Every structure is written in structure tokens, then in C-alpha cells.
Amino acid sequence: MGLGRRLYRGEIDVDFVGKWRLWYGLSGFLLVISLAGLLINGLNLGVEFKGGSVFSFKAPTATIEEVREGFQEQGVHQPIVQTAGDRWRVTTETLPENTMLAVQNSIAKDYNVPVNQVDVQSIGASWGGEVSQKAWIGLGVFMLAIILYLSMAFEPKMALAAIVALVHDLVITAGVYAWSGFEVTPATLLGFLTILGYSLYDAVVVFDMIKEVTAKLGTTSKQTYSMAANNALNHTLIRSLNTSLVAILPVAAILFIGTTVLGAGTLKDLSLSLFVGMIVGTYSSLCVATPLLVTLKEREPRYQAIAKRLASQSGKGAKSAAAAKG
């Protein structure tokens, strides 16, 4: 509790920039694990992307095992069964028309449901390809807009740091989906685009403060760019944590209560990407985007000169102190 109070009073100064090796190492580890999951397992694409048949019906007394076995008895391989209350949604591979009719009649017979109340949809793989293409186009346009905005509002190096952080967030979130086997649906893509906006907002807040603080650095400055950026980051730390906490709590409620208690599968598709993305986005804005920006900016002659001058003064001061003791 004491640490929490000190943190929220701004009495703790965290050296985010100075620990860049730790953050880069952690991010590198997470990225390697995520890429391994994508290469080994791949993404479990929903029927909207790979095509297939979808059956939707109402059966209050049915169980998941009963529904799955009923489909398998009709020759359906690996049906994906989802439930929301007494409503069932079963996704299968693309089935021939006669098999779809047989499954529809079997469902109606087993659960005493009129045949016309067993909804059947057949989605072609070509339609899923169009959805994927539009999703990639939307992502590309979003990234381009971010680069243009940050380059005009701040500078290209800040835009580069923000883009790297966004890609970092996307890859790790996708890695969670790959290892967990969660189905990727259009709702998942909406969640991905949402976390991009959220992560960008957090980065813009931090960069705006850094821009304001570092604009005062001159040839006689007593701070390097790294020190000034770290101070700016600590000034926005509480705001970032509060914003993240307020956003994550309702998403966590949707993910853990909405999907487990209410059984709403579509909420799971959206909330998992939001939950993981918000946590990773907060981390990346603090521990990836800012240290990367500092790494890029410290290479500029202006800030190298300040760092050398301060290092020289520090060395002279240490020698004077040693001579006084001698």
C-alpha cells in the first residue's frame, strides 16, 4: 500500500529509459515466443475467413458433448460448438448440400425443433479472402495515417518509435491467439484496430510531454535528452496507469464474466484482443516507444554534445572530490 501511495503522489522516479536493455530483452523474448506460435500453430481463422458451414438453433436441454456427437454421427469432422444461453452455433468445414440437409433434419429431430428454425449458412472461402484483403488494406491505411500525423505533429523519429510499438503490440497479441487457439473472427479484427488506437493514444500523450520538456534543452542544459525524456515519462506515468486501469477493468469483466457466466462467444472474440492489447499497449508506450525514441534522438549531434559536456563536468567533479579527500 505504501508503494501505491508513493506512486500516485509522484514520489517514485522510475528509470524507464536507463533500463532499456531490460525492456528490449523482454520485448524480444515475447516477440520470439509470439512468432514461434504463429509459425508453429498459426491462427485459428474463423469461418468468415476460411469458409465453411454454420448451423444455428435453439436447444435448451442440450450439452456441448451431445451437440458435438450429433454432428460427428453425420460424418462432420471437428465441429466447433459455441453456446450463448440456450442458443447454439456450430461451425463445420464446407459441407455438400445433401449433407447440410441431413444435418439440419437430424438437429430438428434430436432436439424437437422445427426444421425451418434450424438456420444454415454456407460461406465460401472466396468471401473470406475478400474480408482478409479488406482487413489488410484497412490496417495499411491506418498505419500510413499514423505515420503522416505523427510526422507532422511531432517528428519522423517519434512516428517511427510509435509504429514499432504498434507492430510490437500486434505481433504479441496475435501470438496469444496462436498459442491459445482462440478463433479469429471479424470481431477480433475490430479489437485489433481498437488496441492500435488505444496504444497510439498512450504514446501520443507521452510524446507530447517529451516534446514539451526537451524543447527547453540547450547548450547549457543540465539534463541530457535521456534524463529529460525519463522525467517526462514519469510525469505522465500516473495518467497512463489510471487510463489503462479504467479501460482494462470493464474489458476484463466482459472477458471473464460475459464469456464464462453468460456464455457469449462473440464477446470473447472481441474482449480477448482488447484485454491483451491494452496491457501490452500500456507496456510498449512506456517501455518500448520512449526508450527507442531516446536511442534515436541521442545520436543527434546536438544531444551528443550535451551528453559529452555533462559527462566531462561529472568527471571533473569526481576528480575534485577525490583530490579533496586525498
Q: What mean pLDDT do residues 55-70 have?
A: 84
Tens digits of per-residue pLDDT, 139-197? 788 778 877 887 787 788 888 888 898 889 989 999 998 998 887 877 787 778 777 77
Cell numbers standing for residue 185? 473472427
pTM over 0.95: no
What's the CATH number of domain 52-123, 3.40.50.1450, 3.40.50.300, 1.10.357.10, 3.30.70.3400? Answer: 3.30.70.3400
Supply the CATH classification number for the domain 13-43+127-313: 1.20.1640.10
Dmax over CA atoms of the chain, in Å, equals 98
Return the percentage of the chain with pLDDT > 90, whole number.
9
Q: Is 184 helix (H, G, I), strand (E, B) or coil?
A: strand
With a cut of 50, say whether residue 87 has pLDDT above it. yes
Q: Where in the chain is the domain with CATH 3.30.70.3400?
A: 52-123
With a cut of 90, say whether residue 32 has pLDDT above it. yes
Q: Where in the chain is the domain with CATH 1.20.1640.10?
A: 13-43+127-313
The answer to whether 57 touches 119, Cβ cutoff 8 Å, is yes
Cα–Cα nearest to 184, from 132, 130, 246, 227: 132
pLDDT of residue 152: 82
Cell numbers standing for residue 74? 453425420
